[in-house]
Structure 1
Amino acid sequence: MASDLGDDDLTKAKIPGLASVVTLDSSQSDAAADPRAFLASFTTEEDKAIRRKVDRRFLWLIGLMYIIKNIDYQNAANVKVLQVGQPSNVLIELGMTADHYIIFEVPSNLLLKKVSPRNWQFRIFLSWGIVLACHAAVKNKEGMHAARYFLGMMEAGMFPGIAAQLCSWYRSDEMGKPIMSMFGFQNCSGIVGAVLAYGISYMDGLGGLSAWKWAIATILFFFVVYFVLPDYPKSQRSNSWLTPREQDYLEARLSENAPKTNDAEFDKSEIFASLRNPRTYSFMLSQVFLNFGGYGLSWQLPTVTTNLGFAGLPRNQLLNIPPAAASVLAIIFSGWFLSRAYLTRPAYIM
C-alpha cells in the first residue's frame, strides 16, 4: 500500500500537521500568483463577514483608547474650575499647547513599524499613565507645565499610530467608518469626562490629593491594549481570530502602497512623495481648523459654563454634557450624509 502513496503523501503521514501547512502555503501562493482571481473567489457574504470581524476587533477598542486619551489630556480643563479660589490652584494659568505633538508624532510613527503597533501603543499607554500619575507630585505652576509637556510627549503617537495601523486593515474608501468612530468617541469623552469630573470632585482631599491627581485608570488600561489590540492581518497575533485564508484576503485587497505585515521598513520615496502631494497640506490645514474649533472649545467650555452661573460647583460640570452630545450626533449625521452624497467636496466645504 505504501507503494501507492506519493512522496508528498508519505511526508504528510510522517509529519503530523504538515497537511495544514501545505494548505496554508497553497493559499498564500494563490494570493501572490493571481490576486484578482484569489479575491474573486470570495463571495459578498464572506467579504462582509470578514470585515465585521475586523470592525468588532478595532472600533470599540480604538474608541475607548481615544476616550481615555482625551479625558486624560483635557481633565485639567474640567477640574481647574473646581480649584478656583484655592491657594494651591496650579491649573488656573494652564494653557493648551501642541508643540510636543508637532515634535514627537512623526518620530513616533517612524518607530511604529520597527516595534509593532501593539507593542508601541502598549508603551504609549504605560508611559503616559505613569506621567499622569506623577501629576500627584506637582506643587507649582512650573511643575504643572513640565508634567503636561511630558504627558503630551508620551501620548503624541497614539492617534497617528492608530491611523497608520488602520491602513493595514482597511482600504482607503473604507477608512470613513473607523475614523468616524474615533472622532465620535473623542466627543463622547466630553460626556464621560464631565460625569467623571463631577464624581471625582467628591474625592478632593482623599489620600491627601486633589481630585484631579487620580490617574490609576490609564495605567490599568494598558493591559487591555497589550492583550487585545492586533498588529497586522498576517501577524501571529491574528491567527487566533482569523483563518489563514482570511488573513491573505485582507492583505490582497489593499492598495499596492498600503503597509503590509512583512514590510518592516518605510519607503523614503513614499515619504518624499507625500511631502510633495498638495493633499497632504490640504489635510493639515483642515486639521488645523478642526482643532481650533474642537480642542479650543473643549478646553474653554468648562470655564464658560461655570461663568454662566447656571449651576454651582461641582454641578456645573454636568453642563458640559449637552454640547458634547450635540457634537456626537453631528458626527454621526455627517458620516451618514457623506456616505450617501453624490458630490462629497461641496459637503466637506459646507
Structure 2
Amino acid sequence: MGTHADKVDGPGSQSDDRVDVEQLDQVAVPPVTLQSFAHLNEKAILRKMDIRLIPMLALLYLLSFLDRGNIGNAKIEGLQESLGLTNDQYNWCLTAFFFTYAAFEVPSNLMLKRVRPSIWLPTIMVAWGVVMTLMGIVRNYAGLLSARIFLGVTEAGLFPGVAYYLTNWYRREEIQLRQAMFFSAASVAGAFSGLLAFAIGKMDGVGGLRGWQWIFILEGIATVLVAAIAFFALFDFPETATFLTEEERAFVIYRLKYQGQRGDDSGREQVAQADGFKWKYVKDAFLDWQIWVNIIVYWGIVCPLYGISLFLPTIIRELGYKSSQAQLMTVPIYITAAIFAVFAAYCSDRVGRRSPFIAGFLLVMAVGFAMCIGTDPKENPRVVYGGVFLAACAIYPAFPGVIAWLSNNLSGSLKRSVGMAIQIGVGNLGGAMASNFYRAKDAPRYILGHGLELGFIGGGLVASAILVLGYTTQNRKRARRIQEGALDSYTSQELSEKGDRAITFRYVL
C-alpha cells in the first residue's frame, strides 16, 4: 500500500496545478494498468469516499430543498393572510424563484470548474442563507417576490454543482446510488420541513413575529451555520483528497479515466475526453440532442416533484385536516420516498440500466395521480392521500435516475458539467410551471393540477422511449464500425477529443 501523501492541505485545499480527473496524461502517476492496482480493496476505498463526501453533501442539499420549499409550510401558518397576498400573487412568488434558478445554473457550473468546490459551494450557501433569513422580515408582496428572485439566484449552483462534482469521484455504474443518497435529502427535507414547521409554528407571537416568519429566520440561520462548517469539511477532487493514500488517489483517477469506452477485440482501452476549458465543449453540450430529449423526461419527473413539494401540505389540508395535522401527515410520505430512492438506485447500479427504472416509476406516478384525479376527496380522502403517497414514492427514486442517466452518457469533464447544468437549469423551468398547477379555486379536487402532472408524465415516457431507441441505434452502429476496422482510422488523441461521440463510447440504456 502507498503511504499518505506528504501534504499539509486540509479537506478544502487544492494545489494550484490541479488537473481534471480525466487529464491523467498530465499527472506523473506510475502504475498505468488496472492490474497494477489489483492489490487495493476497491470497496474499502469507495466506503472511504462515501463516508467523507455523501453526508456533508446531503446536509447541504437538505437545507437547500428545505429553504426553497418551506414557503408551502409558511403558507398554512398564515403567510398569505399576513402579507395580504392574492392567490395569483402567491403563485408568482413561487414561480419567480425558478426563472433565476434556471438562468444561473450553467454560469455557476462554469464557475465551479474554475473555483474550488470547497470554496464555491459554501459561498453560495451563505448567500442563500442570508436571503432566507431576510425573507422572514418582508412586509408585502414586493418584498417576498424580490426575496424569492434572489433565492433562485443564490441556490442555483448547488444541485447541478454537486451532481457534476460526484461524477469526478464515482464511475458510471456507481453514480446513481450516490446521487440517490445525496438527493434523498430532499425527501428527508420534506419530512423535516413538516416537523420543523409544526414546532416553529408554536413560536407565533414570540418577539412580535408570526410563526411563518420564524420558519424563514431560523432555517436561514441554520443554513449559514452549516455553510461555515462546509468551508472546512468539503473535499475538492480525488487528486488532492488527504483521506486517501497516494496510491489510492492514483487508482481513483485511473478508474475514472478509463470508463464508458470500448476498444477493439484486443481489449485496447480508450480514455475519455481530456478537456481543459474550451468553448468548443460548451457548444457541444448545447447542441447535443440527448440533453434536450432528456429534459422532457426530466420535466415528466420534476413537475410532479415540485407539485408535491410545494403543495403537499395544502393538498392534505384540503382533505379536511387541520394545518398542524397536515404538516405531520407529510412526514411518512417523505421518509418512505427516501428509502425507496436509495433502494432503487442500488438496484439500478447493480444491473447497469437506467431507463427501465425511470419508465417504471413514471408509470407508478401516473397511477398515483390518476387515483387523485378520479376520487372525490370529500367522500374518500384516504384514496387521495394514498394517491399522493404512491406518486411521491415514485418521484423521489426517479429523479436521481434521470440525473445519473444523462451524466453516464456525457463524456468529458467540461461537457458533462455544462450538459448537466443545462439539464437541471432548463429542466427546473418545470418547477415554474408546476408552481401554478394547483390553484386555490380548484380546491379540493385540483383536477387541473393532477391532470397537468399526468400530461407531463406521459411526455416523459415518450421521451424515454426516444432516448432508448437513439442510444441503442448508436451503440449498434459503433460496434459494427469497430468490427469493420474503423478504429484503425483514429488516433488515441482524436478519439479522446470526440468524447461520447467516439466510436469507442457506449451509451448506457
Range of TM-score over shorter length: 0.7 to 0.9
Q: Which residue of 1 aligns with 2:303?
A: 292
Following TM superposition, by how much is the alpha carbon of 1:181 offset from its aligned partner in structure 2, in angstroms?
1.1
Question: Superposed, which structure 2 residues align to 1:122-133 within 5 Å?
Answer: 122-133=122-133
Residue in 2 that maps onto 1:249: 251
Pairing 1:319–2:329 present: yes
Deviations 1:44-85 (A, max 9, x none): 652222111111111111111111111111111012011078
**Contiguous gaps of at least 5 residues in structure 2:** 8-23, 258-270, 361-509
Q: Determine if the alignment matches structure 1 residue 228 to structure 2 residue 224.
A: no
The 5-angstrom pairing of residues 295-306 of structure 1 reads 295-306=306-317
> Residue 90 of structure 1: CA displacement?
4.8
SS in 1 for 2:345: helix
Q: Distance in 1 between matches of 2:338 and 2:256?
A: 30
Provide the residue aligned with 1:151 in structure 2. 151
1:287-331, Cα deviation, whole Å (9 max, x unpaired): 212110111111111111111123x23232101112212322332
Q: CA 1:137–1:113 in 2, change beyond 3 Å: closer, same or farther?
A: same
Q: Are the counterparts in 1 of residues 175 and 349 from structure 2 also a CA contact under 8 Å?
A: no
SS in structure 1 opposite 2:239? coil
Matched residues in 2 for 1:306 and 1:289: separation?
Answer: 25
Deviates more, 1:287-296 or 1:273-282: 273-282
CA–CA distance in 2 between the matches of 1:246 and 1:53?
11
Contact 1:167/1:258 (CA < 8 Å) preserved in 2? no
Q: What residue in structure 2 maps to residue 4 of structure 1?
A: none
Which residue in 2 is equivalent to 1:116?
116
Task: Report the alpha carbon displacement of residue 251 of structure 1 after superposing the two structures with TM.
Answer: 1.3
Q: Which sections of structure 1, spanning at least 5 residues, go unmatched?
A: 1-18, 22-27
User: Equivalents in 2 of 1:268, 1:305: separation in Å?
Assistant: 48
Q: Secondary structure at the match of 1:249?
A: helix
Q: 1:63 aligns with which of 58, 63, 78?
A: 58
* Number of aligned residues: 317
1:344–1:167 CA distance, 2 compared to 1 (3 A): closer
What is the letter of the counterpart of residue 246 of structure 1?
Answer: E
Shift in Å, 1:114: 1.6
**One-letter code of the match for 2:255?**
R
Query: For residue 274 of structure 1, what is the aligned residue in structure 2?
Result: 285
TM-score (norm 1): 0.82
Give 1:162 shift: 0.7
Q: Partners of 1:173 and 1:258 in 2: how far apart?
A: 18
Correspondence for 1:102: 102
Name the SS for the 1:108 alignment partner: helix
Q: CA 1:206 to 1:89, structure 2 compared with 1: closer, same or farther past 3 Å?
A: farther
Would the alpha carbon gap of residues 111 and 128 (structure 1) be closer, same or farther in structure 2, given more than 3 Å must change? same
Change (3 A) 1:33 1:157: closer
Q: For the structure 1 residues 62 and 103, does the alpha-carbon distance in structure 2 shift closer, same or farther, using more than 3 Å as the test?
A: same
1:120 and 1:161 mapped to 2: Cα distance?
9
Distance 1:190 1:29, change over 3 A: closer
- What is the identity, as a one-letter code, of the residue corresponding to 1:286? V
Q: Helix, strand or coil for the counterpart of 1:138? A: coil
Deviation at 1:245, TM superposition (A): 1.7
SS at match of 1:137: coil
User: 2-side partners of 1:343 and 1:129: how far apart?
Assistant: 37
Residue type of the alignment partner of 2:355: R
2-structure distance, mates of 1:135, 1:85: 13
**Equivalent position of 1:338 in the other structure:** 348
Measure the CA separation in 2 of the matches of 1:243 and 1:337: 30
Q: Percent identity among equivalent residues?
A: 31
Query: Contact 2:131–2:150 at 8 Å: present in 1 too?
Result: yes
- Counterparts in 2 of 1:199 and 1:341: CA distance versus 1, 3 Å: same
Q: Kindly tell me: are residues 42 and 136 of structure 1, through their superposed partners in 2, closer, same or farther at Cα, counting changes over 3 Å?
A: same
Structure showing greater radius of gyration is 1
Q: 1:74 aligns with which of 60, 69, 72?
A: 69
The offset of 1:35, in angstroms, is 5.4
Deviation at 1:91, TM superposition (A): 8.9
78-87 or 244-253, larger mean C-alpha shift? 78-87
1:281 is aligned with what amino acid?
W
Match of 1:175, SS?
helix
> Could you say which residue in structure 2 is the equivalent of 1:328?
338
1:41 match: secondary structure? helix
CA change 1:343–1:221 in 2 (3 A) is closer
Deviations for 1:178-234, whole angstroms, at most 9, x for unmatched residues? 111122221111111111011110112222222233221011111221111101112
Equivalent AA in structure 2 for residue 213 of structure 1: F
1:41 corresponds in structure 2 to 36
Which amino acid in the other structure matches residue 190 of structure 2? Answer: G
Match of 1:161 in 2: 161
